Amino acid sequence: MGKWQEMTKEELETQYSPSRWSPRLDKDAVIEAHVQATSEATHSAQMATQTLLNVPYGLSEGEKLDVYLPKDLSETFPLVLYIHGGYWQFLSKNVSGFAAWPLVTHGIALAAVGYDVAPKGQLEVMVRQVRRSVAFAVQQYTGISGVYLLGHSAGAHLAAMVLSTDWKEFGVVPNIKGAFLVSGVYDLEPITHTYVNDVLHMSREVAQWNSPLKCVPELENRRACQVLITVAQHDSPEFCRQSQEYFEALRAAGWSASLLNIADTDHFDVIEKLSQEDYLLTQVILQMILKG
């Protein structure tokens, strides 16, 4: 497959339709299964942990956090902020606590971040909301020993945009120690030529301004922040290309970045399985945080 600019609209839409690449289920069934799996695991996590649901971090209806806390809160604890996917127009924080249980059992808090998905929210608004959620969390919970970003698909894009934040306007500099970016999109321009943009209405300028690949900050004091970029074996070639290019761009700018391809997973179960402690990615995340 050549450069995305050389693809037909139909080829581009196939590349940017993750559900078409799953070997497990057909494209509609795999999305239904994803919603069911994340909903059930989120419900289980809420039953098993101490939770603070619908904590507002801003004035908009979508600007809320669901926080999952360890039972024995020590004086300080790491916080993982999970940013959900859904192509910026689907899913919510309400089905995004599925990764909490393996984390809280190791003394790590998780906050599932809500934001205003399209058509209500515009892309640049979502980016600002997620940045604000990080600033709010570190101001609200003074016991945080370090912040870790975890994002899937469109959520990986938003988490990557947090890494390029100018924190001066937020009045706080979060101690972001790591980012786990799973099956993400880091260059939005190809998206503007697909059905995904029918709801987002992104201009080329908005896409470029909000593409992590186009705004990688040069390394200042960010060596302490480790970035893990993950792709599924059955992600599309375009998703794999974008992950590779963002990884290379981070490394070129001096960041500590690594790239992980997880066998026998597709775009959906690569993140769903974070509800399981013995899953490879869960173990990698735990090791990075507990070593932190």
- Count helices and strands (H / E) in the chain: 10, 8
Contact criterion met (CB below 8 Å) for 250 and 285: no
Given the residues 235, 236, 266, 269, the one annotated as active site: 235
Residues 6+ apart with CB under 8 A from 247: 229, 257, 258, 259
Tokens of 83: 């940013």
φ and ψ at residue 100, rounded to 5 degrees? -70, -40
The reply to whether 39 belongs to the active site is: no
Of 284, 40, 255, the closest CA to residue 182 belongs to 284
The reply to whether 264 belongs to the active site is: no
Could you give the C-alpha distances from 270 to 99, 117, 152, 153, in angstroms and in order? Answer: 12, 22, 9, 11
Given the residues 133, 267, 269, 275, the one annotated as active site: 267
Using DSSP, state whether 32 is helix, strand or coil: helix
Given the residues 22, 96, 153, 275, the one annotated as active site: 153
The reply to whether 153 belongs to the active site is: yes
Strand intervals (E) in the chain = 50-56, 64-69, 77-83, 109-113, 144-152, 176-182, 226-232, 256-262
Strands 144-152 and 256-262, by their bridges, are: unpaired
Active site residues: 153, 235, 267
